[in-house]
Amino acid sequence: MDVKSVTTDDLSGMGPLVAQLSRSGQRLRQADRTRPWVLDTVVVVLVFLMFCLPDLLRGGADDGDGPPRFRLAFTELPLAGMLALQAGLVLPLLWRRRRPMAAFGVIAAVFVLQWSLGAALRADIALFIALYSLALHGRLRELPWAGAVMAGAMLLVAVRASAALSVGDALFFLLSTAIAALALGLMVRIRRAQLAGLRERAARLEVERDQRSRLATATERTRVAREMHDIVGHNLSVIITLADAGSYAADVAPERSKEALRLIGDTGRQALGELRRVLGVLRETGAGADGGPELSPQPGIADLGALCATVRAAGLEVVYRTSGDAEALDGGVQLTVYRIVQEALTNTMKHAAEGARVHLTVAVTGSRLSIRVQDTGPAARPGPPNEEGHGLVGMRERAALYGGTVTAGPTGGGGWSVEAVLDLTPRGGDR
């Protein structure tokens, strides 16, 4: 209990500090992207104040401090020479991020020149900063060359410092420092690459999510548009046909006119109910008691009889036959069959001549379901011979969901035929 409470208190106390540091780091990175020269200048100024200025004030690195065995006899440089060497070591740091290899090469050359003269300067730290910058910003294939130059420079320093300690010890210390600078640069580089990869992956996932959302929206719109076309197109065709028949029968057979009006009302109510069902699922809240849309079962093969009766009432003779266990099929398959038949009968009512007869056959044979809607014609269908309306396209889209095909065209006797074949084989290992 005590350990848990202490840990929680520590985390709660560090939370605001970590958040503040993170925000400060983001602001600094943003400012650096806007004005990169500011940070480079700050680095140069700090190196000058921390490592160059003490040499200028004390007259070199050999100030006589430390035990006698560590005192090295270095060459005393004049002030102008010291300033020139310091400028050659420090000023190239201004472009250490834009041209890291060039900055490292210039600093390494000045470093070798300085130690060849036997002079020691605190500004030599610039060579390790340049190596770090090269590992972080430069090309990776340049690192072996930089490592060889660095090893040679460190060997020169170890030889010059052999008066105080062995060459091996000095070389071990110097190479360890160089390796640390190189490893730090590579570590920061890898970390930045990982963060960039994560940001890129997050952006890609966001784009894919938006694409999936737009695709789902388009698919849903297509489905609703197809349903609306089937419902409105069929029922309006029936209503128009009944209205025309009722107007003709008003004077000759008033009772037939009343029957037509009754059928128009029934068809309109049926269409309104189906439209409410389709549109109800699009609402976030509906009129139901539980706040959801009022739903009714989707039409299926069992409803084809009522569909044929409606078409017969509109004055078109329909002969309907079925074979196989069609009513035991999946609800989605039954809805597809119903919509294909509905669209085919609607087209027949629109285009078939008066007195035409329609033969409707729905047959299930193994894993194959076939639909055939053929009228006896004659027909007068508008439009160019190869032009397809939205109804035929919608039928083919529905059939394609079950690996099926739809073909339509004139028959030998002057009528019109629509044939659809659906594949009932389960997909995706459903069974």
In which band, very low, low, confident or very high, does the pLDDT at 294 lie, cut at 50, 70 and 90?
Answer: very low
In which band, very low, low, confident or very high, does the pLDDT at 285 lie, cut at 50, 70 and 90?
Answer: very low
**Mean pLDDT (whole number) for 327-348:** 84
- What are the tokens at 265? 């009302």
**Mean pLDDT (whole number) for 254-260:** 71
Q: Which amino acid is at 425?
A: T
H/E stretch holding 428: none
CA dihedral 72, 75, 76, 81 (to 10 degrees): -130
Task: Give Cα separations from 221 to 2, 7, 184, 196, 214 (angstroms).
Answer: 59, 54, 55, 37, 10
In which band, very low, low, confident or very high, does the pLDDT at 6 lie, cut at 50, 70 and 90?
Answer: very low
Nearest CA among 390, 338, 97 for reference residue 222:
390
**Mean pLDDT (whole number) for 304-322:** 84
Residue that the structure tokens 């890609």 belong to: 204
Model confidence at 104: pLDDT above 90:
yes
Do 91 and 44 form a contact (C-beta atoms < 8 A)? Answer: yes
Give the burial string for 239-273 (b: 16+ CB within 10 Å, else e).
Answer: bebbeebbeebeeeeeeebebbeebbeebeebbee
In which band, very low, low, confident or very high, does the pLDDT at 287 lie, cut at 50, 70 and 90?
Answer: very low
Alpha carbon distance, N-terminus to C-terminus of the chain: 54
Nearest CA among 258, 402, 265 for reference residue 329:
402
Residue that the structure tokens 């969901």 belong to: 401
Bridge partners (DSSP) of residue 359 are: 319, 374
In which band, very low, low, confident or very high, does the pLDDT at 378 lie, cut at 50, 70 and 90?
Answer: low
Q: Which amino acid is at 190?
A: I
Residue that the structure tokens 């400060």 belong to: 24
Instruction: Give 127: exposed, middle or buried? Use CB within 10 Å, 0-12, 13-18, 19+.
Output: buried
Encode pLDDT of 153-199 as tens digits: 999 888 887 776 788 888 899 999 999 999 999 999 999 899 889 98
Model confidence at 68: pLDDT above 60:
no
Cβ atoms < 10 Å from Cβ of 130: 28
**Mean pLDDT (whole number) for 319-342:** 85
Which stretch, 65-79, 125-139, 202-216, has highest mean pLDDT? 125-139
Nearest CA among 270, 275, 272 for reference residue 227:
275
Model confidence at 107: pLDDT above 90:
yes
Task: Give Cα separations from 13 to 5, 24, 118 (angstroms).
Answer: 12, 18, 53
Do 294 and 287 form a contact (C-beta atoms < 8 A)? Answer: yes
Model confidence at 20: pLDDT above 90:
no
Cβ atoms < 10 Å from Cβ of 285: 9
In which band, very low, low, confident or very high, does the pLDDT at 357 lie, cut at 50, 70 and 90?
Answer: confident
- What are the tokens at 167? 């060459």
Model confidence at 67: pLDDT above 60:
no
Longest pairwise C-alpha distance within the chain: 135
Measured between alpha carbons, how far is 413 from 390 in angstroms, rounded to an integer?
26
Measured between alpha carbons, how far is 121 from 290 in angstroms, rounded to an integer?
83
In this structure, the chain runs to a length of 431
Model confidence at 70: pLDDT above 50:
no
Model confidence at 392: pLDDT above 50:
yes
Model confidence at 4: pLDDT above 60:
no
Cβ atoms < 10 Å from Cβ of 146: 21
In which band, very low, low, confident or very high, does the pLDDT at 431 lie, cut at 50, 70 and 90?
Answer: very low
Measured between alpha carbons, how far is 104 from 87 in angstroms, rounded to an integer?
14
Window from 19-33, 198-212, 355-369, 410-424 with minimum mean pLDDT = 19-33
Residue percentage of the chain with pLDDT more than 70:
76
Is the pTM higher than 0.85? The answer reads no
In which band, very low, low, confident or very high, does the pLDDT at 297 lie, cut at 50, 70 and 90?
Answer: low
Instruction: Give the pLDDT of residue 25.
Output: 67
Nearest CA among 349, 345, 332, 252 for reference residue 298:
332
Residue percentage of the chain with pLDDT more than 90:
17
Cβ atoms < 10 Å from Cβ of 215: 10
**Mean pLDDT (whole number) for 225-229:** 70
Instruction: Give the pLDDT of residue 161.
Output: 77
- What is the average pLDDT value for the chain, to the nearest integer? 78
Do 332 and 403 form a contact (C-beta atoms < 8 A)? Answer: no
Nearest CA among 90, 98, 174, 83 for reference residue 138:
98
Model confidence at 121: pLDDT above 90:
no
Model confidence at 344: pLDDT above 90:
no
